[in-house]
Structures are given as C-alpha cells and as structure tokens.
Structure 1
Amino acid sequence: MLVLRPVELTDLPQLQQLARDSLVGVTSLPDDSERLRSRILESCASLDKDVEKHGPENYFFVLEDLTARRLVGCSEVLATAGFNEPFYSLRNRHFTSASRELNIEHGVPALSLCHDLNGHTLLRGFHIDDDLVRTEFSELLSRARLLFIAAHSQRFADVVITEIVGYSSDEGQSPFWDAVGKHFFDLPYTEAERLCGLESRTFLAELMPQYPIYVPMLPQAAQDCIGRIHPDGQEAFDILEREGFETNSYIDLFDGGPTLYARTSNVLTIAQSLTATAQAVSSIDARGRYLVSNDALKGYRAIVAELDYQAGHPVGLSADMCRALNVTDGSPIRLIDL
C-alpha cells in the first residue's frame, strides 16, 4: 500500500535520490543534502506551529510504499509565496501604442518582471517515480495536498497557484532561457535552475531586465516556449486543470512555463471533499475508488482506497487501511472520489 505523509528527517537519503531523478526545473527539490535537510526541518517546524493564518510555513509530503519501505514520490505546499522574499514571475500582457495622426492603434505582447503573485499559496515540488506516472497514485500525490488544505484551511491563502515546468530539450537546452536569461547570466539553463534550488530565485531575478521585453523581438523558438509545458510536466498540469485551475497571464521567468491559478474555495477536491467517520470492518463491498485522508496535522495520512461510501454513515475501512491512515473507530476522515 502507498501512503502520503509528512516528510521526516530519516527520509533524507531517499529524498535526495528522488531529487536526482526529478525533472530539471523542479527547483524546490534540489540535489543537495544540506538544503534538503533544511527543507525537511522547515516542514517539521511548520507542523509544530499553532497557526491562525497563512504565513511562511512549508508543508513537505512524501509518498511511501509501505511494503518496500521506499519513497516513490514527493510534493509540497508553500502556505504563502513571497512571504520572506519576493516571488518573481513574468507577466505576459499586451502593451498598446497608438498614433492619433495616423489613426493606428497596435498591441504588442510584452513580458514584465513582477511579483504580483506574492501572498498566494503555492503548490510545488511534484515528483513521482516513472512507473507510477498516469496512475491513481499521481492523483494521490497531487490532490492529497488539497485535502490537507481543506482540513486546515486557516493555514492557507484564498488563492492557490502553481508553476508548471516549461519546455527544455532532452539535452537540457531551454530556448526561452537562451533568448532571455542567458544574456544576463553567463549560465546554461540547467545551472541557473540548480542555483535557484540551492539558494533562491531572488538573486537571479534581481539581475533580470527591469523593463518590458517585447515578445515579437524574441527568436521564434523562444516565443513558442511561452506557456509551453515540458512533456514530463503534462500530468501535473492535467491533474490540476481537472481541479479547476486555469492558466493566467504569468509565466516562469526562466523557462516560460505556465502558471496555474484557482480560488481556493473553487478547487474541486477542496470544495467537494466529504467528511465522515471511520469504522474498522473485516470486508468491504466496494462501490467506488476514493482518495481518503485523516484530518490530522503532524500525523496526516492519505491513501487510495476502494470503499462503500454512503452519506451519513461511517465508512468501512480494512485493518490495513486503518493502519495506513492511523485511524480507529470514530476517527474523522475526509474523502473525494477518483
């Protein structure tokens, strides 16, 4: 059985292996033991805090194969993007110029460095083993974060965003970076992303051009990357699009990947998740497949389970399910159908 739970310090060696296997552009998962250790400790401290409103907290989850005692994925929720330092992105909007004498008005798309997305909750760090891609466990890894938000809504903002990794070649070449960022840093795309993972994007963003970049002046290959998703990032995009997330006018300042946006209260898993109580049973006449979580904080757990859910009645869980979720008879649980 696979279970999603908060990361622990003992996960560090396996977490670093996940970092080595992760997609270039997932800067929140750096292949560096000290940085990962810091991220784990930050998550543990966040879960220990008594929080009344969203702040700098970061919640780091891992997907564990309980039988093999092996981590097979990870994902994160940053409660407030831009809380400690600006969260930079590029705003892609039309710049309109006009000539009254010639009676001409012309709109040109332009990219402007901004931190408009400060204050929103940020989903990040999604990575899953290749053999689990496009399975229900990808849904678990992504959407169980939303069940956590539903259970602890005071810890999160009214808007949730996520950046989807933009296009780069198998050789690690990003046409967007080569046309924009590389002119300001003599670094290849992969090295710039690595530095962002180890440090932060702020020191790089502050050296980016402060004036609008007119899109038609970029090479066509770079223009084609604006809002384009890396093939390995498509699943993360698809899951959240089904949740009601939409693209907006913001893109990643390094690879041009799209940003997804949703009002927290409108996200499907948050708005439509159901609450019930657990009941240990010896057998289940399953009628559907669900994502199921407890409503704990430090002891948060979530699994995929085939259940017989009936509104107003306890939900029968097998002994293995109860152990995985760390619940007993009468414990509150939360579920959403797959």
Structure 2
Amino acid sequence: MLALRPVALSDLPQLRRLARERLLGVTSLVDDEDSLREKILDSLASFAKAEASQGPENYFFVLEDPDSGCLHGCSDILATAGFPEPFYSLRNRPFISSSRELDIQHGVPTLSLCHDLSEQTLLRSFHMDAALAGTPLAQLTSRARLLFIAAHPLRFADSCISEIVGYSTASGHSPFWEAVGQHFFDLPYAEAERLCALQGRGFLVELMPQYPIYIPMLAQPAQDCIGRIHPDAKEACDILVDEGFSPTQYVDLFDAGPTLQGRNHELRSIIQSRVATSYLAAQSGQGRPWLLSNDRLQGFRAIVAPLDEAPGDVTGLDHAMLQALQLEPGDPVRSIAL
C-alpha cells in the first residue's frame, strides 16, 4: 500500500530520478543534487516549525511503497508564493484605447509582467511515475496536499494557486518562449527553464520587458500557446479543476501555461473532508475508494483505500490501513471519497 509522507534526506537519490523524469516546465523539481538537498532541508525545517503561522515554508511530500522503500511520485506546497522575492506572472488583459474625435474605443489583448499572485499558497512539484498516471494514486499525490492544508489551516493562505505546464513540443521547443523570452535571453527554452529552477525568477524580471506585450503582434503559434496546457499536464490540471480550481487571467512567464486558483472555502478536499475516530475493522477490499490521512504535522501520512462503509462519526480501517497511516485504533482519521 503506497503512502504519501513528508520527504526525508535519505530520499535524495530517488528524488534525482524523479526529477530527471519530470515534465519539462516543472521548474520546482530540477535534477540537481544541491538544489534538491536544499529543498529537502527547507521542507524538514518547515515540518519542524512549531508555530502555526504562514510564512516562507515549503512542505514536500513523496509517494512511497513502504515495503520496498521505492518512491513513485512527489508534490509540495509553498506556503506563501513570493518569499523572498515577488512571484512573477504575466497578466492577460485588454489594453483599452479610445478616440473621442472618431468615437472609437478598442481593446487589444496584452500580457503584462506582474506579481499579483504573491502571498498566496502555491501547489507545485507534482510528478508521478508514468505507470501510475490515471490511477487513484495520482489523486492521492495531488489532493492529499489539500487534506494537509485542511488539517493545518493557519500555516497557509486563504487561497491556493497552481501553475500548469504550458505547451512545448516533444523536442523541447516552446513556441511562446521562442516568440517572447528568447529575444531577451538568447537561451533555448530548456536551458532557460533549468536556469530558473536553479536560480529563481529574479533574473527573468531583470531582462523581461516592463511594458505590455501586444498579443496580436505575436506569431500565431505563440498566440495559440497562451493558456494552453501541455498534453502530459492534463491530468494534473483535471484533478485541481475537479477540486474547485479555476483558470485565471495569469499565465506562466516561460511557456504561457495557465495558472489555476481556488479559494480554500470552495475546495472539495478542504471543505468536504471529515475527521472521525478510527477503529479496527476487517475490509473486503471491494468497497468505494477513499482518500485517508492523519492530521499530524511531521508524521503526516495519506493513502487511498477501499472502505466497505462510508465514514461517519467513526471510520473502520483494517490493520494494513492503520499501519500505513501510523494510527492506533481510536486515533482521528480524515477522509474524503474519490
């Protein structure tokens, strides 16, 4: 039974494999030992923080097979986007021009550099082994982050955002980057993406134009990329949309992939999950699948498991489920149906 748990420093070698296999454009997960080690250490410090307040913490989770110790996926939560520098995006909105003499008013769509999304909680670093795509374990790896937020609301903002990887070709070319970013950086998309992953977005802002980019002046392939999802990112997007996330007017600086946003009081795994008292009960294995988690901090665990009876004030779990969640009968367990 696979379980989602906080990352450990001993996971570093396997995380490098996951990072090598991740979708181009996931800049929060890069195949660099020093970067991943720092990410792990930051996460360990975040989980160890006793004060329940929102700050620059990141909470990094891995999907593990406890029997083999093999990792099959990962995801994380940045409690506050924009720490220590602003979180930059491109805002897609019309620029209105008018002429009183000609009685003409016209709106031209533009992209403008902004940091409107700073101070919101950012869901990122979602990656799964290809063999698990489309399974309930993908939902576990993504949605369990919201169960963690539900259990520790004071550590996070009142709304969450997530950047969905935008379109690029199989050979790693981004029509949007080639039409916009490459003119200012003279770097291929893949190299610029790696540089951002290692150094942050600050260098982008230093070189990106500070004035609006008029969308009709871009080549049509670049225009078509604005808000377009990479085919391999569709599942990550669909899971969040099912949760209650919606597209916004903001897109990514690199590939113009969409940014989704959801208010915590509207997200299904936060508002509909329920905490009940666990008890030991045999399960047939044929019941409806549920997402289950404990409400701990450093000891957080989450699984997918079939339950014969829907949780109420009490929730029956078999021995394997209790063990995977590191619970004893009588401990609280959080649940939501798939």
Question: Counterparts of 2:106 and 2:152 in 1: how far apart (Å)?
Answer: 48
The answer to whether the 8 A contact 1:308-1:315 is kept is no
Structure 2 match to 1:12: 12
User: 1:311 offset after TM fit, Å?
Assistant: 5.2
Deviations 1:223-245 (A, max 9, x none): 00000000010000000000110
The answer to whether the 8 A contact 1:80-1:118 is kept is yes
The answer to whether the 8 A contact 2:56-2:83 is kept is yes
Structure 2 match to 1:232: 232
Question: Counterparts of 1:17 and 1:109 in 2: how far apart (Å)?
Answer: 41
Unaligned runs of 5+ in 1: none
Question: Counterparts of 1:284 and 1:278 in 2: how far apart (Å)?
Answer: 17
Structure 1 match to 2:118: 118
Question: Counterparts of 2:6 and 2:108 in 1: how far apart (Å)?
Answer: 46
User: 1:319 offset after TM fit, Å?
Assistant: 1.1
SS for the counterpart of 1:269 is: helix
Q: How does 1:95-174 map to 2 (within 5 A)?
A: 95-174=95-174
Counterpart check, 1:272 vs 2:275 = no
Structure 2 match to 1:330: 330
User: 1:286 offset after TM fit, Å?
Assistant: 5.5
Per the normalisation by structure 1, the TM-score is: 0.98
User: 1:284 offset after TM fit, Å?
Assistant: 4.8
Question: Counterparts of 1:67 and 1:260 in 2: how far apart (Å)?
Answer: 36
Question: Counterparts of 1:287 and 1:64 in 2: how far apart (Å)?
Answer: 23
Question: Counterparts of 1:265 and 1:283 in 2: how far apart (Å)?
Answer: 33
Structure 2 match to 1:249: 249
Q: How does 1:175-194 map to 2 (within 5 A)?
A: 175-194=175-194
The answer to whether the 8 A contact 1:284-1:316 is kept is no
Q: Which amino acid is the alignment partner of residue 153 of structure 1?
A: P
User: 1:261 offset after TM fit, Å?
Assistant: 0.5
The answer to whether the 8 A contact 1:121-1:156 is kept is yes
Question: Counterparts of 1:265 and 1:214 in 2: how far apart (Å)?
Answer: 36
SS for the counterpart of 1:224 is: helix
RMSD over aligned Cα atoms: 1.1
SS for the counterpart of 1:193 is: helix
Identity of aligned residues (%): 61
Structure 1 match to 2:213: 213
The answer to whether the 8 A contact 1:54-1:80 is kept is yes
SS for the counterpart of 2:336 is: strand
Per the normalisation by structure 2, the TM-score is: 0.98
Deviations 1:68-98 (A, max 9, x none): 3210000010000002111000000000101
Counterpart check, 1:294 vs 2:294 = yes
The answer to whether the 8 A contact 1:284-1:318 is kept is no
User: 1:18 offset after TM fit, Å?
Assistant: 0.2
Deviations 1:123-172 (A, max 9, x none): 00000000000110000000000000000000000110000000000010
Structure 1 match to 2:46: 46
Structure-2 change in CA distance of 1:322 and 1:195 (3 Å): same
Q: Which amino acid is the alignment partner of residue 132 of structure 1?
A: L
User: 1:205 offset after TM fit, Å?
Assistant: 2.4
Deviations 1:187-209 (A, max 9, x none): 00000110111110111222100
Q: Which amino acid is the alignment partner of residue 241 of structure 1?
A: V
User: 1:52 offset after TM fit, Å?
Assistant: 3.0
Question: Counterparts of 1:185 and 1:260 in 2: how far apart (Å)?
Answer: 27
Structure-2 change in CA distance of 1:13 and 1:95 (3 Å): same
Q: Which amino acid is the alignment partner of residue 185 of structure 1?
A: F
Question: Counterparts of 2:63 and 2:100 in 1: how far apart (Å)?
Answer: 61
The count of corresponding residues between Structure 1 and Structure 2 is 338
Q: Which amino acid is the alignment partner of residue 53 of structure 2?
A: K
The answer to whether the 8 A contact 2:123-2:161 is kept is yes
Q: Which amino acid is the alignment partner of residue 183 of structure 1?
A: H
Question: Counterparts of 1:104 and 1:283 in 2: how far apart (Å)?
Answer: 70
The answer to whether the 8 A contact 2:291-2:305 is kept is yes
Structure 2 match to 1:222: 222
Question: Counterparts of 1:68 and 1:89 in 2: how far apart (Å)?
Answer: 40
User: 1:51 offset after TM fit, Å?
Assistant: 2.8
Question: Counterparts of 2:75 and 2:175 in 1: how far apart (Å)?
Answer: 27
Deviations 1:27-73 (A, max 9, x none): 00010011100000000000111233211000000001223321000
Unaligned runs of 5+ in 2: none
Q: Which amino acid is the alignment partner of residue 20 of structure 1?
A: R
Q: Which amino acid is the alignment partner of residue 256 of structure 1?
A: A
The list of structure 1 runs, each at least 4 consecutive aligned residues, that deviate by more than 6 angstroms after superposition, is none
